[in-house]
Structure 1
């Protein structure tokens, strides 16, 4: 919770450290975005830059979200033609006919980043005199535990997103409170996972259906992100892909969308509720879809699409489209107040930890920590690693009730020997980050 003195103190410190806007010769205070952005990528990339910068300086969350939204909005409303960047001759020659008819308009990423910082500086200078109420209004307090490790892999290709100030950051003014959580598990490089972590929630917020059908808005956000990343992959010769699962808590409704085998489960009164079925090539409907397109699914060390990928849907994977689909599944559930927590994780966790074990492991941690759940993800990751997982591992536990309350009620789950999983709630038709980021926001 940010008090007025904390907000004004942050703004005074920021403007003391940066007494004037950046000049064309000034170094950027954040890592460059690369060389070029498409116009559709600008909002997401600049939002990510500004939030990362303010977060690194420990800005109060409502202030960081409001500052970012105001600065990015003002920049997007300005004339950005000065940042337009024509594609190079080589890129033009390699465009296919469709792209030649509708060329992607690229903008100078470095110039936009500099302008974004200066806009952020201008807003901070204005707000130092009078901070808007929204920038100092407390947000709902979420207890969220996040832990991510590279493990034995050469690179960390997972990314995760935690946006408790979803409305404030994305300029939504209706009365429905929203929070967004996501895990993306990259393969063949980190580019696709990072891209999805930056853009999926932006696309979701811009969908008119967000207000009437949030699950459909999340599906469309995945589709648009995949479409945009494929264009980027062709421009920059990227071959990576990513699975992903995202959750939007909107008021008293839970909305879930996913691609591939990153998963989310809900624990309610100690019982694991299966919310989704991952997209794997061996699933009957997925195998039939792939083969109908002319692809093949066969077993090497596991079932793979065309002998390569062990997932049948993902963002990216430009050379495996359309066999590896970019179309997400989504579903919604009403929350009753009896739900304990959500657990989002990549396959590096779920490949070695079964659903029935999760509630018992979490309960055991809460007992040891006397109801403090901020480090439960760290213990779950350690357990997965001890059981032999060699993959990147990311776990996010989102408590829907105070973990101390769960401990007091003695909610501990069914134990390791019982099934303890409900699957009747499955949707119809379905058969580098920080090493540790416990958060209370």
Structure 2
């Protein structure tokens, strides 16, 4: 393929409707997997030191990428002559995302937004799926980059994705951690990343998390607590760490072995097993009364409490006539004004149209104070949290 073709194709994919782009990528990847990938094999890597007997192939990324673009070009040409019928998404999801480096030297956050999860992975069982994630790297960006690239793929390819999606989500974290640790040993990488992900499957919300990135739900103007972050000062986390021979000490905050302020993460090779790669997970039934789901890193939640989110979002919607597109940006600004100096990433998934959320609060202001006590029964009934 000529360079100008690659440039044009990249421009087309970036500007194509998301549903079309996801379907094109799936078709091109499927064609790529029909080829003999041994042609791109760079070397075999021994895995025994990681406890995984055998070898894994390393593929040469440059030629493989060029082959993918060629496959993508072929699919585009074929579909231009005979376009497929693409089924539109059934559920309403308006998404608002904003991220900032803030006062830090580097931006180590990453996020993933895949409302076209089914189309990207060729799932045709007529059950809507959408995937969202936020990763907060530390000690470098490698772990966050790796998690943002591989976690959703591990979810989609998990054997239980259709029958038990929350198990697929939770175990995908562990698999991604194991995969990255192999890379970290090979390339002498020392970075780590917290992470939180949400998978909406039909009328169920499944979440999984490692560390202190968090996800929250707002239902009828009430903040619903879905999870408890993994911090060393948690009694169960402290007991786990000390049972392994580690310690939890206080300097400016509670830290594992005097270093990390989180107790679970992807990566952190030198701090394993004290920094666990085993995620917690939970499932919740969506009744139609939910307003939105919010995922964010600790740079946001250290400055803004969950109950404050409701007021900030409502104020933003009222100032913008119910337009929710820049909701995340307004929340990031609020976190900065509240003193956050960390990287900040906020991802808001509206489950109802923002103008209706605003209208409901205007009709019944008493229903809108940010008090999550009345909504906690939702978590108690449907939670399937798993501790490791």
Tell me whether the two structures share a fold, i.e. TM-score over 0.5: yes
Structure-2 residue corresponding to 1:164: 115
- Is 2:145 the counterpart of 1:188? no
Map Cα deviations across residues 7-32 of structure 1 (whole Å, 9 max, x no partner): xxxxxxxxxxxxxx34xxx59948xx
Offset of residue 194 of structure 1: 1.2
- How many residues matched? 380
Offset of residue 103 of structure 1: 2.4
Structure-1 residue corresponding to 2:69: 117
| Alignment partners' CA distance in 1, 2:88 and 2:386 | 41
Structure-2 residue corresponding to 1:129: 81
| Alignment partners' CA distance in 2, 1:372 and 1:280 | 36
Match of 1:85 among 22, 42, 49: 42
1:399–1:430 Cα change, 3 Å: same
Structure-2 residue corresponding to 1:148: 99
Structure-1 residue corresponding to 2:233: 282
Offset of residue 96 of structure 1: 5.7
| Alignment partners' CA distance in 2, 1:113 and 1:408 | 48
| Alignment partners' CA distance in 2, 1:228 and 1:194 | 13
Offset of residue 104 of structure 1: 2.3
1:61–1:381 Cα change, 3 Å: same
- Is 2:345 the counterpart of 1:394? yes
Match of 2:165 among 204, 214, 217: 214
| Alignment partners' CA distance in 2, 1:230 and 1:120 | 31
CA contact (8 A) 2:134 2:345 kept: yes
| Alignment partners' CA distance in 2, 1:430 and 1:391 | 30
1:280-359 matched pairs, under 5 angstroms: 280-359=231-310
TM-score (ref. length: structure 2): 0.92
Match of 2:23 among 66, 86, 92: 66
1:202–1:240 Cα change, 3 Å: same
Map Cα deviations across residues 362-407 of structure 1 (whole Å, 9 max, x no partner): 1111110110011111111001001110000001111110111011
1:26-105 matched pairs, under 5 angstroms: 26=3, 29=6, 54-56=12-14, 58-86=15-43, 97=49, 101-105=53-57
Structure-2 residue corresponding to 1:237: 188
Map Cα deviations across residues 172-202 of structure 1 (whole Å, 9 max, x no partner): 1111111111111111111111111111111
Map Cα deviations across residues 145-181 of structure 1 (whole Å, 9 max, x no partner): 1110000001000011110110000111111111111
Structure-2 residue corresponding to 1:198: 149
What residue ranges of structure 2 are gaps of 5+ in the alignment?
none
| Alignment partners' CA distance in 2, 1:422 and 1:209 | 30
Offset of residue 140 of structure 1: 4.3
| Alignment partners' CA distance in 2, 1:149 and 1:271 | 27
CA contact (8 A) 2:222 2:369 kept: no
CA contact (8 A) 2:101 2:342 kept: yes
Structure-2 residue corresponding to 1:438: none
Offset of residue 53 of structure 1: 6.2
1:27–1:114 Cα change, 3 Å: farther
SS of corresponding position for 1:216 = helix
